[in-house]
Amino acid sequence: MSKINDRSGLSLQIRLVRPEDGAYFAALLGQDRETVRCMASLPWPMTESTATHWLKERLADGACIYAVLRRDDRTFLGTAGYGLRSGREGTVAEVGFWVGRPYRGQGVASRGLALALRRAAQDGAVLAVGNVFPDNAASARVLRNNGFVFVGQHDEELPLRGGLRRLDVYQRSLGDDG
């Protein structure tokens, strides 16, 4: 498990998610349609069953999704992760993350993503890309806090979000330290 501390005193670690973590998804996102709508592929309604099914599909497809945990008591706070693909630049990590509403505003998403980026670099990624809906200022801030820069917009077909949607694109290079 990777871990990180900061001046706030909150120590985090990550571990790969498991299908049974669907219970945490349901507990943290089951009543939070607004957050689920900010993510391109998460299903609604977010029940334990739909979350477990979604996790099984993503893990079978090779996604690297990490549970972001509070280190002292292993409380599940959210997730951060990536999928790897080949690009002109080499291996690209497409990142995603979310944090349960009770844990927001504490730097959890930024630090969880930092840990996942280290793993992506260890997995050979040389570039990380994050796509966010233009009205999702909080996620854009998390990306910027991790060294991402805005590089433009593109339209993507997102069936769970009503079809063709415009996304802001952020990217950063990954070095040895992720």
Tell me the pLDDT tens digit for each residue of 118-131.
999 999 999 999 99
Residue 94 scores a pLDDT above 60: yes
Say which range, 4-8, 15-19, 95-99, 120-124, has the weakest mean pLDDT: 4-8
Cα–Cα distances in Å, from 123 out to 6, 29, 120, 128?
Answer: 25, 29, 5, 12
Read off the pLDDT band of 11 (50, 70, 90). Answer: very high
Tell me if the bond preceding 45 is cis, omega within 30° of 0: yes
User: For 61, phi and psi rounded to 5 degrees?
Assistant: -80, 0
Residue 100 Cα to chain centre, angstroms:
12
CATH of domain 2-173: 3.40.630.30
Residue 13 scores a pLDDT above 80: yes
Q: Which residue has the tokens 């769970």?
A: 160
Mean pLDDT of 100-110: 97
Read off the pLDDT band of 10 (50, 70, 90). Answer: confident
**pLDDT averaged over every residue in the chain:** 94
Cα–Cα distances in Å, from 18 out to 29, 48, 51, 56?
Answer: 17, 13, 11, 8
Q: How many alpha carbons fall within 13 Å on the CB side of residue 80? A: 29
